[in-house]
Amino acid sequence: MNIRETTRAARIDGKAFAAGVRARVADHVAELTSVQGITPGLAVVLVGEDPASEVYVRNKARQTREVGMTGFEHKLAAETTQAELLALLARLNADPAVHGILVQLPLPRHIDTEAVLAAIDPAKDVDGFHVSNVGLLGTGQKALVPCTPLGCLMMLRDRLGSLRGLNAVVVGRSNIVGRPMAQLLLRDDCTVTVAHRHSRDLEAICRGADILVVAVGRPRMIPGDWIKPGATVIDVGINRIEAEDGRTRLVGDVDFDDAARVAGAITPVPGGVGPMTIACLLSNTLTACCRAHGLPEPEGLTA
């Protein structure tokens, strides 16, 4: 009998999972504050007035407060010079109350993004974008890990338990998701293939995956018949498309309905990977705080 007609993938609920992560972070923060007298602090820097960034920053600020952390918001005018931004980062680097620093991207065109990211203290780089953290992750050492791949890893571990020996395919090689995701899977002893737009016979590569992580920004690029029966699919893509009624809606890089007939488990879009990003930002801030004070790291909330 055709497996596509008899099975339906388990839905990996990222919204519920993220709520659980935030609850665990809040418990750790409460213990740190009451026992150690330490409250983790997260500084978020926004330059300019990009509407999407403003909404995202508001959500970060609200969730920071909800888990008991101290939030430091710095909203700067679009005309802020690079020198002024770097001076602010230097002050935040030196502030012991600030354990995590995040500069909201994209930055205005007159500011060199790489220079700004390089100016953040790697120990406070809760986005995991500093070249020092990238290098530490790549060499298997302790690092602060980019939030989205960390969230994907948490969900995979929760779903599958040990990842040892599984064939993992990551479609996409960005510095934000694809590359760090591959490194994290290697650290968990997967056999990892990184595929991209120049990969030959992408269909066959995907079909060999026990774990398939897709992060390319192309709506419904991966159909169900590219997926190995029973595979776990993590769809990182968030694409806005026009629906038949003329409205727009969000879809992933994987054709969800088609893939759900084949996969063992799959993340939806929206409601899958997306909610995990801010949850892991808070987790990274907690981790950075514990490391700064020589305290044990929160179990299950780090890579």
Average pLDDT, the chain: 95
* Residue 112 annotated among the catalytic residues of the structure: no
* Residue 127 annotated among the catalytic residues of the structure: yes
Question: If you average pLDDT over residues 9-31, what whole number do you get?
Answer: 98
Q: Are 138 and 263 in contact (CB under 8 A)?
A: no
Q: Which of 60, 121, 235, 255 is catalytic?
A: 60
pLDDT the model gives residue 246:
79
Q: Are 9 and 265 in contact (CB under 8 A)?
A: yes
Beta strands in 97-225 (DSSP E): 100-103, 167-171, 191-195, 211-214
Q: Report how far residue 152's alpha carbon sits from residue 55's, in angstroms, rounded to the nearest whole number.
A: 23
Q: Report how far residue 94's alpha carbon sits from residue 217's, in angstroms, rounded to the nearest whole number.
A: 37
pLDDT the model gives residue 5:
47
Give 2-13 as a 3 state SS string.
CHHHHCCCEECC
Q: Are 29 and 39 in contact (CB under 8 A)?
A: yes
Q: How confident is the model at residue 3 (pLDDT cuts 50, 70, 90)?
A: very low
Q: Give pLDDT tens digits for 42-73.
A: 999 999 988 888 888 999 999 999 999 999 99
Assign residue 201 a region: left if phi > 0, alpha if psi is -120 to 50, beta otherwise? left
Q: Which of 121, 125, 127, 255 is catalytic?
A: 127
Q: Report how far residue 88's alpha carbon sits from residue 90's, in angstroms, rounded to the nearest whole number.
A: 5
Query: Pick from 159, 132, 157: which is nearest to 144 by CA?
Result: 132
Question: If you average pLDDT over residues 248-273, what whole number do you get?
Answer: 96
160 contact partners, CB below 8 Å, separation of at least 6: 166, 211, 232
Q: Report how far residue 101's alpha carbon sits from residue 117's, in angstroms, rounded to the nearest whole number.
A: 10
pLDDT the model gives residue 191:
98
Q: What percent of the chain has pLDDT over 70?
A: 98
Q: Which of 104, 124, 125, 188 is catalytic?
A: 104
Q: Report how far residue 55's alpha carbon sits from residue 46's, in angstroms, rounded to the nearest whole number.
A: 11
Residue-wise DSSP of 33-64: IIII----EEEEEEES--HHHHHHHHHHHHHH
Query: Pick from 12, 11, 17: which is nearest to 279 by CA?
Result: 17
Count CB-CB contacts under 10 A for residue 183.
23
* Residue 60 annotated among the catalytic residues of the structure: yes
Say what the pTM is.
Answer: 0.94
pLDDT tops 80 at residue 149: yes
Per the DSSP assignment, residues forming a β-bridge with 11 are: 266
Question: If you average pLDDT over residues 234-263, what whole number do you get?
Answer: 92
Query: Pick from 218, 137, 223: which is nearest to 181 by CA?
Result: 137
pLDDT the model gives residue 2:
44
